[in-house]
Structure 1
Amino acid sequence: MKKLVILLIILLVLFIAWISPASNSSDSFVSSVTTSELEDEDNYVFDPQIIQAILPISEESSASVEIPSVVSLPNVDPASQGFSVYATSPGITIYSQEATYLLVIDLNQAGIRALHNATGDVLGPGIWDGNDTAFKSKALGDYLSQGGNENFACAFNGQFFKMVKYPTGLAAPLKANGEIITYGWETKFHKGEKLMLEVWPDRTRITPLDKNRFENSDAVDIITGLTALANKKPKSVVGRTFVGTHGESTLMVLVSPSSNQRQMESTLKSLGAEVIMMLDGGGSTQLSCRISGSEQVLRYSERLIPQAVYVYSH
Structure 2
Amino acid sequence: MYLCSKSILSASEKIYTPSVVPPGFDLVKTSKGVTLYQKNTEYVQVVDLSQGASVKLLNGDITDAGNNQGAYGGDDPQMRRQTLNQAWLNLYSSNPNAFCITNGQFFSTNSQPATNLAFPVKVNGKVISDGYAGESEYPTEKLMLEINSDRADITPFNGKISLYSSSAPNLIVGLKENADKFMYKELGRTFVGVKDSDSNGTYETILIFNSTAATQAHATETLRSFGADKVIMLDGGGSTQLICQGESYITSTRTIPQMLGVVSAP
What is the TM-score with the length of structure 1 in the denominator? Answer: 0.72
1:239 aligns with 2:181: no
Aligned match of 1:296 in 215, 240, 247? 247
Aligned match of 1:250 in 190, 199, 205? 205
1:40-62 per-residue CA deviation (whole Å, 9 max, x = no partner) reads xxxxxxxxxxxxxxxxxxxxxxx
CA distance in structure 2 between the aligned counterparts of 1:185 and 1:277, rounded to whole angstroms: 19
CA distance in structure 2 between the aligned counterparts of 1:152 and 1:134, rounded to whole angstroms: 26
Q: 2:66 matched to which residue of 1?
A: 122
The aligned runs of 1:127-206 (5 Å cut-off) are 127-147=71-91, 148-166=94-112, 167-187=114-134, 188-206=136-154
Q: 1:262 matched to which residue of 2?
A: 217
CA distance in structure 2 between the aligned counterparts of 1:302 and 1:132, rounded to whole angstroms: 25
Asked if structure 1 preserves the Cα contact closer than 8 Å seen for 2:242 and 2:251, the reply is: yes
CA distance in structure 1 between the aligned counterparts of 2:143 and 2:263, rounded to whole angstroms: 23
Quote the offset at 1:112 in angstroms: 1.2
CA distance in structure 1 between the aligned counterparts of 2:23 and 2:133, rounded to whole angstroms: 36
CA distance in structure 2 between the aligned counterparts of 1:287 and 1:199, rounded to whole angstroms: 20
Which stretch of the first structure deviates more once superposed, 261-270 or 231-240?
261-270
Which stretch of the first structure deviates more once superposed, 247-256 or 211-220?
211-220
Which stretch of the first structure deviates more once superposed, 99-108 or 212-221?
212-221
- Relative distance call for 1:214 and 1:306 in structure 2 (3 A) is same
Q: 2:36 matched to which residue of 1?
A: 94
CA distance in structure 2 between the aligned counterparts of 1:266 and 1:204, rounded to whole angstroms: 20
CA distance in structure 2 between the aligned counterparts of 1:112 and 1:270, rounded to whole angstroms: 21
What is the TM-score with the length of structure 2 in the denominator? Answer: 0.84
Q: 1:107 matched to which residue of 2?
A: 49
Quote the offset at 1:134 in angstroms: 1.0
Structure 2: state its 5+ residue gaps. 1-17, 197-202
Asked if structure 2 preserves the Cα contact closer than 8 Å seen for 1:76 and 1:270, the reply is: no
Quote the offset at 1:218 in angstroms: 2.3
CA distance in structure 1 between the aligned counterparts of 2:34 and 2:133, rounded to whole angstroms: 33
Greater Rg by CA: 1
Quote the offset at 1:76 in angstroms: 4.9
1:82 aligns with 2:37: no
What is the alpha-carbon root mean square deviation over aligned residues? 1.5
Other structure's SS at 1:297 match: strand
CA distance in structure 1 between the aligned counterparts of 2:108 and 2:191, rounded to whole angstroms: 19
Q: Which ranges of 4 or more aligned residues in structure 1 deviate by more than 4 Å? A: none
CA distance in structure 2 between the aligned counterparts of 1:272 and 1:146, rounded to whole angstroms: 32
Q: 1:51 matched to which residue of 2?
A: none
Identity of aligned residues (%): 37
Which stretch of the first structure deviates more once superposed, 145-154 or 253-262?
145-154
Other structure's SS at 2:27 match: strand
